[in-house]
Amino acid sequence: MTSVIELEKLSVTFGKRPILKSLDGVLNGRAIGLLGPNGAGKTTLIHTLLGFHPPTSGTAHIFGQDITRDAKQVRAAVGYMPERDSFIAKMSCVHFVRLMAELSGIPAKHALERAHEALFYVGLGEARYRPVDSYSLGMKQLAKLAQAIVHGPKLIILDEPTNGLDPPTRSRMISLIRQIRDGGRARILLSSHLLRDVEECCDEILVLKDGYIAANCNLEEERKANRKFIELETRSGNRAAFVEAIGALGCEYALSGERRIKVIMQETTEISDLYRLALEHGVQIRRLNFKRDSLEDIFLKAMENGNGRAA
């Protein structure tokens, strides 16, 4: 199976300053979240994949195509929604999107039809003949999404797609990204400072720190692999025997006050085991809070990883 993105010792240096440092990894998610603090190399990685910056050493492949050797094929297969506006003054939105379709390889006789379809899809059908510079911020973001998908790319790169959006427009953008992801026709690379966007849309993450890969994982598998934290509030019964039985299951625990117990579950134990032990020892479980590592937890752990190299 051909990987969506494959990084092979990819390095980029500007002057004497290394920006990307021998990146190695394979990305295959339906929607891949690209995370990292400012200066981590996210934008440089995107621009290198698009062919704007030549690699200093190493390379990368998108659906098996080398970003340097097969640059023309790569650009035809990729749609790009930039963070900054890049419209043509006074041009209507439909004609701007048509132009982007033609530049992406769509024949002129089909490009206008595709532009209309893309603008109706993102919700700008009624405003498609207006100049883009008359649009609100939210409408401009939707127009950028339309031009990124107009040519039917296999990979869509979205750079800060919800930046500055009000809640209703952000919700619309997230819904569109999910529809594209679930439709199966295109994969997504989503770069965002907002962990919530990545959490809601992505099933795989790539975290950069200081030009290195700090984490590269399937999000759901990473959550499952991390230990489960449980907090119990109990009443009555033989509490000492209950916690001793929890320890016998291999779980770590700590007592908090007279009624609370904090438990770190093992992968072989389930919530039902706790209820069974409580019944055996006459303990009432009045409240139970269950928590797996969030994306924020995973991100912060990656940031704590020394020099940024993945462990």
CA–chain centroid gap for 160, Å, is: 11
Model confidence over 108-126: pLDDT tens digits?
989 999 999 999 999 999 9
DSSP letter (8 states) at residue 227: P
Looking at domain 227-291, its CATH architecture is 2-Layer Sandwich (3.30)
Distance CA 211, CA 3 (A): 22
pLDDT class for 311, splitting at 50, 70, 90? very low
> Could you give the CA distance from residue 232 to residue 59 in angstroms, rounded to a whole number?
51
pLDDT bin (cut points 50, 70, 90) of residue 226 is low
Tell me the pLDDT band of 35, cut-offs 50, 70 and 90.
Answer: very high
pLDDT tens by residue, 169-219: 999 999 999 999 999 989 999 999 999 999 999 999 999 999 999 999 988
Per-residue pLDDT for 237 more than 70? yes
Q: Mean of the pLDDT values across residues 19-37?
A: 96
For the cut 60, the answer to whether the pLDDT of residue 155 exceeds it is yes
Average pLDDT over residues 256-273: 83
The domain 5-222 is placed in CATH, from the list 3.20.20.60, 3.40.50.920, 1.10.1740.10, 3.40.50.300, at 3.40.50.300
Ordered by start, the domain boundaries in the chain are 5-222, 227-291
19-23, 81-85, 164-168, 292-296: which range is least confident on average?
Answer: 292-296
How sure is the predictor about 293, in pLDDT bands with cuts at 50, 70 and 90?
A: low
Counting beta carbons within 10 angstroms of the beta carbon of residue 292, is it exposed (0 to 12), middle (13 to 18) or buried (19 or more)?
middle
Sheet holding 65-66, edge to edge: 17-27, 5-14, 57-62, 65-66
Distance CA 135, CA 147 (A): 15
Decide: pTM greater than 0.85: no
Q: Which two tokens stand for residue 120?
A: 């109706």
**Residue 143 pLDDT more than 60?**
yes
User: How far is the C-alpha of 124 from the C-alpha of 236, rounded, in Å?
Assistant: 62
pLDDT surpasses 60 at 310: no
To the nearest whole number, what is the mean pLDDT of the chain?
Answer: 91
pLDDT of 308 higher than 60: no
The candidate with the shortest Cα–Cα distance to 141, out of 117, 172, 109, 182, is: 172
Overall average pLDDT of the 45-74 stretch? 95
